[in-house]
Amino acid sequence: MLTNKFKALVFSRILAFIFIFVSCAKTQTPEGTNTSKAQYPLKITDSYNREVTLDKKPERIISLAPNITEIIAELNATDRLVGRTDYCDYPENIKTIESVGSLTDPNIEKIASLKPDVVIASTHFKKEVLEKLEQLNIKVVVLYGPESFDGVYEVIKKVGDVIGEPDAAGKIVDEMKKKVDDVLSKVKEAKDKPKVYYVISYGKFGDYTAGEGTFIDNMIEMAGGINIASDVKGWQYSLERIVKNDPDIIICSKYFDTKNGIMNTPGYKDLRAVKEGKLIEIDNNLLDRQGPRIAQGLEELAKIIHPELFK
């Protein structure tokens, strides 16, 4: 039986995929603004096409998205992070930072009480929340990118610009690109392309996966696999389609006992991949969150699909 906590997690994952899929990056640096040296006042145009001016380097930052939180941590600016959402749980020490509530409906009063120099939001952010924060004269920057590695790189660089760490952001992106290139180089040696099915949810809560054109679809291809769900657009699938397309490998989240649940769900437990021990867990946050760990996520996918190339 699915718990309410599990349902909430699955629903948040589906929302995350949908929001990211429909998002289109509009971030750009206005002409004449030199962000490479983190000069302030800093003018930046965010993904809502709003020009935001930051008078000084932010010393009190609130993140309203897990991927933004991870970027800030990777930029070694955790000591300046004074607020996060309930879903911001990586790295582990982030959990000691005060939460301001949910992704979509954060506590406005709590945010105001923390006196942030800037609030950085992403795809789940509601414009009505933005309006309330603006009424309180709180600086807000909304950053999201298109569904691609280039989109992730752009967001990381923009966060680096906003918090005054452009050089560190550039180094992170360079390291990510090297890892991606290394994975692609290894995958070129593959002799075949296994058929893969990626589980977002299953059974009673509905069959959801990543269809054609999604970031996960692209990553499976980059990792040397064939996404069986590329025969549909969007997120909904069906057990009948899974049976028909007969994946060689099924990949699921390592959280909430997902693997065990699939192995005991009628229809799923009879799939060839499950019977042959090819139901494999992954930390889905490496794939769902478009942040600095996404290159690691690609590598983990490739190791699952082509373990022979990573010995």
The two three-digit tokens of residue 297, written as one number? 């996520």
What element of type H or E holds 53?
A: strand 51-54
Domains of the chain: 24-177 (3.40.50.1980), 189-309 (3.40.50.1980)
CA distance 115 to 66: 20
DSSP letter for 309, please: G
Q: Specify the 3-state DSSP secondary structure of 24.
A: coil
pTM equals: 0.87
pLDDT values of the chain reduced to their tens digit, one per residue, 311 residues: 444 444 455 545 554 444 444 443 333 333 333 345 678 999 999 999 999 999 999 999 999 999 999 999 999 999 999 999 999 999 999 999 999 999 999 999 999 999 999 999 998 899 999 999 999 999 999 999 888 999 999 999 999 999 999 999 999 999 999 999 999 999 998 999 999 999 999 998 899 999 999 999 999 999 999 999 999 998 999 999 999 999 999 999 999 899 999 999 999 999 999 999 999 999 999 998 989 999 999 999 999 999 999 98
Is the bond preceding residue 292 a cis peptide, omega within 30 degrees?
no
Distance separating the N- and C-terminal Cα atoms of the chain:
39
Q: For the CA atoms of the chain, what is the radius of gyration?
A: 20
